[in-house]
Structure 1
């Protein structure tokens, strides 16, 4: 039950922040695993551009080249074999990044909580990309290349699905990293009580349903070790706690919908990069 990676480069939004450089470090690993190139993008809004007539300094252009050069150096240190392209584009940042994401196999964004203004600006970009992107979007608050924890698959209900893109993506990511998969099945209190009263859905105990859900992917990736746990679904605190030792968390999100409370909490507080996989 392999899923094929989309073609195209790994695209990273570069704004000069520390979070963007962590995003580059993460993106290098993703580009290498996907055997594709890395595209570093800095966007200049048209109304912020300076005229260069009569020797006036091109402040925005100089800044763009500076931050892109810095990001390219970080990428080369991460893996000199990955092809890196750095480009300055003009337009509304969210619109430009949406356009870039359309031809990318993965879009990577850094996000920060260093200041309320920075968090608001980056949060708006992150939510826009997650709502509209047809391909996965990785959100990086922090990245530790030396962390060797599991790839977490954050799952909702335990219904068996032959096209579970979250599980499939988690297994591929784990195979790329030679890591294990930890499937975290979250259930609301109401769901747990309903199951206890009426019996398990589809006449399967939760543990059995989870095993059925994971089994086809385990066959495709025999070298990937798998474990599963159950947690109470709340505002994402259980997933945030699990992220403290994980090297990546994979979550699903229905396209054209605003991220819910749990996903928003994970994006804001996770201790590892979060890979959001779109589905219909």
Structure 2
């Protein structure tokens, strides 16, 4: 994981970026880290420590100033630093990611048809999530503090309700320590349960047959013995369950207070992540360093309603 000790969030004045900034402030408070607000692509560069940000009488506060002051009032114990930069959005955010433990960005909600062209538009968020050196958390517009906690009827204050589960989508062929460690650590700082999901699709043909039948082969040339039986599928699934348990065993010992649920399911990873993220507080997915976002990660970013953390790994 990144050794830097700050949470950074992008500010462009849009509701999406402000909701992301509030999520970032809560995350910084949970981790006892300072919060850095970054406003990119401006003409005048300003660096200030909140609550010292002030504007002379008669001047209009910038979006960065307003966000910094609002967050300082909402989170008075938090160390907040606000910074403007003339660097364009993507390179500025990627540079900030190299110095941050986590980078938090806002994304437009599926029902948000605003034409405002802020620097946190979907293409920028995707570009940063696909290349950043640290985990990037994408927070959808409209995210509220209560959304990351369980609903508890009976008058329990939302701020004291238990956190919703953290969900980790795990590819057993690439069970990277950075990815697993981030998910366990995130669940630990919330005292939340961790649901680890591995999705797989049973192969249509057994080991003795081709993975995909030849386009020139006639149906009579495909032997029934090449088609896996129900027992074969169960054996494969049992093997994957054992592999998942073995992969997580040392992490469960390292984080004994984190309740862990392991789930091996049939189906496309993206579809299964959409299913299990319903009711989650955070979905964690991986991205192999130097590669583009995978299909499952892109599906999650575009469709999952809870915040999504994209974690780079080797």
Specify the TM-score bucket, using the shorter chain as the normaliser: 0.7 to 0.9
Change in Cα spacing, 1:235 to 1:154, as seen in structure 2 (3 Å) is closer
Deviation by residue 1:6-50 (Cα, 9 ceiling, x = unmatched): 22321111011111111112111221233221111111255x99x
Q: What is the 5 A alignment of 1:142-221?
A: 142=141, 143-146=143-146, 147=149, 148-157=163-172, 159=173, 161=175, 163-190=176-203, 197=232, 205-221=239-255
Q: How far did 1:78 drift? A: 4.3
Q: Residue 271 of structure 1 aligns with which residue? A: 305
Q: Does 1:43 align with 2:58?
A: no
Are 2:2 and 2:100, in contact at CA under 8 Å, matched by a contact in 1? Answer: no
Change in Cα spacing, 1:256 to 1:66, as seen in structure 2 (3 Å) is same
Q: Residue 141 of structure 1 aligns with which residue? A: 140
Change in Cα spacing, 1:259 to 1:77, as seen in structure 2 (3 Å) is same
Are 2:14 and 2:118, in contact at CA under 8 Å, matched by a contact in 1? Answer: no
Are 1:39 and 1:87, in contact at CA under 8 Å, matched by a contact in 2? Answer: yes
RMSD across aligned C-alpha pairs, in angstroms?
A: 3.0
Q: SS in structure 2 opposite 1:190? A: coil
* Structure with the higher fraction of residues in helix conformation: 1
Are 1:10 and 1:108, in contact at CA under 8 Å, matched by a contact in 2? Answer: yes
Q: Residue 18 of structure 1 aligns with which residue? A: 15
Change in Cα spacing, 1:16 to 1:120, as seen in structure 2 (3 Å) is closer
Are 2:89 and 2:119, in contact at CA under 8 Å, matched by a contact in 1? Answer: no
Are 2:42 and 2:84, in contact at CA under 8 Å, matched by a contact in 1? Answer: no
Q: Residue 59 of structure 1 aligns with which residue? A: none
Q: Residue 93 of structure 1 aligns with which residue? A: 89
Q: How far did 1:200 drift? A: 5.0
Measured in 2, the distance between the counterparts of 1:27 and 1:221 equals: 24
Q: Does 1:33 align with 2:47?
A: no
Q: Which moved further from structure 2: 113-122 or 218-227? A: 113-122
Normalization by structure 2: what TM-score?
0.73
Q: How far did 1:116 drift? A: 7.9
Q: SS in structure 2 opposite 1:236? A: helix
Q: Residue 115 of structure 1 aligns with which residue? A: 113
Q: How far did 1:127 drift? A: 2.1
Q: Residue 127 of structure 1 aligns with which residue? A: 126
Q: Does 1:8 align with 2:5?
A: yes
Measured in 2, the distance between the counterparts of 1:84 and 1:69 equals: 12
Measured in 2, the distance between the counterparts of 1:89 and 1:14 equals: 11
Q: SS in structure 1 opposite 2:83? A: strand
Measured in 1, the distance between the counterparts of 2:67 and 2:296 equals: 31
Measured in 2, the distance between the counterparts of 1:125 and 1:198 equals: 41
Structure 2 unaligned segments of length 5 or more: list them.
46-58, 150-162, 208-227
When the two structures are aligned, how many residues end up with a matched partner?
260
Q: Residue 80 of structure 1 aligns with which residue? A: 76
Q: Residue 223 of structure 1 aligns with which residue? A: 257
Normalization by structure 1: what TM-score?
0.81
Q: Which moved further from structure 2: 191-200 or 73-82? A: 191-200
Change in Cα spacing, 1:36 to 1:246, as seen in structure 2 (3 Å) is same
Q: SS in structure 2 opposite 1:272? A: coil
Change in Cα spacing, 1:38 to 1:119, as seen in structure 2 (3 Å) is closer
Measured in 1, the distance between the counterparts of 2:293 and 2:118 equals: 16
